[in-house]
Copies of this chain bind each other. A is one copy, B any other.
Amino acid sequence: MTTPFDPEAFRRALHRAADVVADYLETVGDRPVLPNVEPGDLLSQLPAEAPEDAESFDALIDDFQRLVVPGVTHWNHPGFLAYFSSNGSEPGILGELLAAGLSVNAMLWHTSPAATELEIRACDWLRRLLGLPDAFQGHVNDTASVSTFLALAAARDTATDRDIRHEGLSGGPHLVVYCSDQTHSSIDKAVVALGLGLHQLRKIETDDEFRMRPDRLLAALTDDRAAGRLPIAVVASVGTTSTTSVDPVAEIADLCDREKVWLHVDAAWAGSAAVCPEERSLFAGWERGDSIVVNPHKWMATPMDCSVLFVRDPDLLRAAFSLVPEYLETREDAHPAKIDLMDLGVQLGRRFRALKLWFVMRAFGAAGLREKIRRHLRWGRRLAQRVDDHPDFELAAPAPWSVVCLRALLPDEPPAREDEFNRRVLEAVNRRGDVFLSHTKLQQRYVIRVAVSNLRTEEDRVDLAWQQIREEAERLRTDSDWNRPNEGS
């Protein structure tokens, strides 16, 4: 057994890479969160084609440090408060390294029994941690985009008496999916991919706290039925992307029951907070979903990629996607404990993602996971209180968890100029490099968004973000260019 590589050289390189990773994580906070690069900077430094001759492992690691690290956005930086962070925790990185060493494909039980059974058990551990009932069975996908896509595929294929798997959508009625106007763009992509068409996606109006209005949902369902279209699924969000608002899931579940419509719950980010029993009132009703997506790679310290799709009836996913060609049939097919996870989705190749999730849950322990979430919730809610208390700022949305949407106020200026002011404040803060914040728009208005869900963030970093927002707003208010007439809007 040989490869072109000297085993000792590889071992040395792995140890060097181990130190590179350990050093990086110890010092990442000393860098600016965002790299100081322009589009094309790295491209211009890379040769146009692969080298003819082999290069050493040291050359690869040197170039990783020289070319790649200075050009990445530092998701593991304690000041990464943008989007939803996805953190490479220490046990997660260990899991990724060991899984890469095995390089198994968990498509069939037979092609890696341990990877399959560990995935089943790790998802079951997660289900129990989140307080979800036994009725749910989980499996791991790469992203919530895929998890949601699979759930809606099952909803689509079970919605009618027609055999959509074989007949397709042509010739059948229009099938309609419902979500709120705050729902993640992955729902739109799923509706496109599944062939339903965006005109069959109803973005239901939200209330003044950005929660789906059940009365509007019912009205839309009724309209569609009256027009001969068939409602197939409602996507309720526990933690929308912009404001982390929580749809009234219990009411929506009542409606889905009555209307016989699939309920998919998108809790990709906020779902991890269900490890804290005291937070579970925010999840009321999610246990009535037909499917639920929770991404451990968002708020449970698991490195990208790890999205868990819980479904009540995995046979509905199998009915959509199971196709076993002869070359993948195996002799264990009759055994009750044997599950071929490829049958639950589109992807045949499946990385051993369960290992890192198992490592994360064990290395933190349930107590450690709860503590991590509680710290973020405490800091996020305190920041929201401070914004609310400050005369020159306002909360742009309620902050039920640890994401704060805020806006600097210019009461004597037109809205467009206030929006531009906030945009400039955000850019000025991000340029300083200590924190990275993102933005969103709410009711057409520009909003600064601070997301406290990064494993490496500490309380003082959240304080610093707030301090720099105030400083940059103060600086801009007195900036002569900003205050010159006909400027800045």
Contact = CB atoms under 8 A, between A and B. Distances in A.
Kindly name the residue among A37, A55, A439 whose own CB sees the greatest number of chain B CB atoms within 10 A. Answer: A55
Interface in A327-361: 327-328, 331-332, 335-338, 346-349, 351, 355, 359, 361
A42 B72 contact: no
Interface in A299-316: 301, 303-305, 307
Contacts of A326: 242, 439-441
A341 to B, nearest CB: 13
A299 to B, nearest CB: 13
A433 interface: no
Contacts of A455: 3
A475 to B, nearest CB: 20
Given A2-B458, A71-B113, A185-B325, A100 B90 contact: no
A73 B107 CA distance: 11
Contacts of A2: 456, 458
Contact of A118 (B13, B42, B60): B42
Interface string A442-481: 0000000100000110100100000000000000000000
Interface stretch (A20-28, A204-212, A250-258): A20-28
A280 interface: no
A86 B103 contact: yes
A226 interface: no
B125 A55 contact: no
Contact of A39 (B43, B129, B192, B332): B332
Given A104-B75, A439-B327, A14 B21 contact: yes
Contacts of A196: 168-170, 195
A374 to B, nearest CB: 13
A75 B102 contact: yes
A101 B346 CA distance: 28
B88 A93 contact: no
A416 interface: no
A385 to B, nearest CB: 23
Contacts of A89: 3, 5
Contacts of A124: 48-49
A77 to B, nearest CB: 8
Interface string A418-451: 0000000001000000000011110000000100
Contact of A91 (B7, B24, B57, B146): B57
Interface stretch (A171-179, A216-224, A376-384, A389-397): A171-179
Q: How large is the interface on A (under 10, 10 to 19, 20 to 34, 35 or more residues)?
A: 35 or more
A164 B195 contact: yes
Contact of A100 (B88, B113, B166): B88
A399 to B, nearest CB: 16
A197 B164 contact: yes
Interface string A389-413: 0000000000000000000000000
A17 interface: yes
Interface in A17-65: 17-22, 24-26, 28-29, 35, 37-43, 46, 48-57, 59-61, 64
A107 B20 CA distance: 24
Contact of A10 (B17, B22, B111): B22
A114 to B, nearest CB: 3
A135 interface: no
A199 B42 contact: no
A247 interface: no
Given A4-B368, A90-B10, A60 B362 contact: yes
B103 A13 contact: no
A347 B39 contact: no
Given A68-B355, A327-B438, 8 more contacts: A15-B18, A46-B118, A83-B327, A97-B97, A142-B349, A145-B347, A170-B172, A184-B325
9 contacts: A14-B22, A41-B117, A57-B90, A83-B111, A88-B101, A165-B198, A166-B197, A193-B320, A297-B349
